[in-house]
Amino acid sequence: MRLTKRFLFAILFLLISLKGLELLYGFFLLENRNIKSAYVSKEKINAEVLILGPCVPVWMISPTILDKHTGLKSFNLAQSHSDLADNFLHLHLYLKNNLPPKYLLLYISPESFDIRYNEFNTYRFASFLGDTVVNDIIKKQDPEYYKWSGFPFMAYAYYSNKINFNVLQGVKHFASGKNKAYFEDGFEPPFEIWKSDSQAFTESYPKNQNFIWSSNREGYLNKIIQICKTFNIKLILFESPIYSQSAKFQPNRSVFINRIKEISNYNKIEYLNFDTMLISNDKDNFKTTINLNKKASEEFTETFGKYLKKHAF
């Protein structure tokens, strides 16, 4: 009897402790200004141009340079390793707390529709569980996580390696009263320590590997298109330069480009493809086959900004 009592007390203690931790983690993650989802949910950004996509735009498009050429205020909402579901949720959270932008620049490439490239990063939305849109997408994209997320603290314990540091940073931001993100406009300049090496170039596309179209990814592009229509946001799809020599490792690249064009035509959306810009020919402009280095990124952003001002805005 004594043992049963102690056992029940221990279970109760454990559940209360986990619930307490869950509340603390949720609070401090929202206080972390360097987590984009938390930042845009707390701060009023109200940008006129929003940039969305995976690592390519986050390390490439500097709002400072873009604003200079377009005359509009922009914010880079892109996130590394993010797929279209991830992008959609970031946009959803942004729109909950901010005025809709006039333009949304969404990075789209053949990789965007192949599940081997980028992913849905559930942990970025752990503190937003409860929002029905977030719940629905997490349930679909990461059902195993969703199943356990109802258990006290499991929403954070499940991806503890991706969470703990951010919680500590949240504590620091809360304690110091910090209200701006480290990268205030969302642009993260590419690290200079990375070097272009031939291995990275060839490993991205093993010989004769075809892209595989994912209807799940296409579904999230449609959701982004839909949300843009609802909020009257002009959506512009774009692809930045890719290293010209890498095209030969992507046999069905043109098929995918055509399919993207079909989608954009059907939805009457602009699709700007810069994949064969002059800078594409020089390997030294790249860090990987699709990621430009700092200098080339600036050059591209200038061209992109001028083009947008002249033709799209």
Partner 1 sequence: MEFNTISYLILLFSILVLKVLLPEKFKIPLLIFGSFVFIASKNIESLIVLICLSTLNYFLAKNIAFSNSKKKVIPFYLGILFNLSALFLFKYFEQNTQGLSFSFTAINFESSSFIFLIGLSFYTLQNIAYLIEVYHNRTTNNISWINYIFYSSFFPKIVSGPIILPQEFLTQIHKERSLSSDIKTGAQRLIIGLFKKMVIADRLAPYVHYNFDLSDTNNGLTALVALYFFTFQLYFDFSGYTDMAIGSAKMLGIDIKENFQFPLRAASVTDFWRRWHISLTSWLTKYVFYPLSYHLRNLKITGTLLAITVTFIISGLWHGLGFNFLLYALCHALYLCIELITKKSRARFSNYFSSSLNKLIGIIITFNLISLSFIFFRAKSLDKSFSFLNSIFSFNNFLPSNWLNDFVSKLAIGGDLESQFNLYITLALTILFLIFEKKIVNAFLTERFKWRYAMIFILMIFLFGIFKSREQFIYIQF
For residue 146, the minimal CB distance to partner 1 (Å) is 12
Give residues with Cβ within 8 angstroms of 86, minimum separation 6: 79, 118, 119, 120, 121, 124
Q: Which stretch binds partner 1 (CB under 8 A): 6-14, 84-92, 219-227, 238-246?
A: 6-14
β-partners of residue 49 are 74, 103
Position 277, amino acid: M
H/E stretch holding 234: strand 234-239
Q: Which stretch binds partner 1 (CB under 8 A): 9-17, 218-226, 234-242, 286-294?
A: 9-17
* Residue 17 engages partner 1 in binding (rule: CB under 8 A): yes
Smaller CB separation from partner 1, 166 or 301: 166
Residues 161-190 that bind partner 1 (CB under 8 A): 161-162, 164-166, 168
Binding residue (CB under 8 A) for partner 1 from 12, 15, 16, 160: 160
Binding residue (CB under 8 A) for partner 1 from 35, 66, 157, 225: 157
Indicate if the alpha-carbon torsion angle 26, 30, 31, 35 is positive or negative: positive
* Residue 8 engages partner 1 in binding (rule: CB under 8 A): no
* Residue 21 engages partner 1 in binding (rule: CB under 8 A): yes
Measured distance CA(36)–CA(124) in Å, rounded: 9
* Residue 238 engages partner 1 in binding (rule: CB under 8 A): no
Buried b (16+ CB within 10 A) or exposed e, 122-131: bbbbbbbbeb
For residue 309, the minimal CB distance to partner 1 (Å) is 34
H/E stretch holding 96: helix 84-97
Measured distance CA(144)–CA(155) in Å, rounded: 11
For residue 185, the minimal CB distance to partner 1 (Å) is 19
Residue with tokens 């849905």: 120
* Residue 99 engages partner 1 in binding (rule: CB under 8 A): no
Query: By the criterion CB under 8 A, which residues form the site for partner 1?
Result: 3, 6, 10, 13-14, 17-18, 21, 145, 148, 153-154, 157-162, 164-166, 168, 191, 193
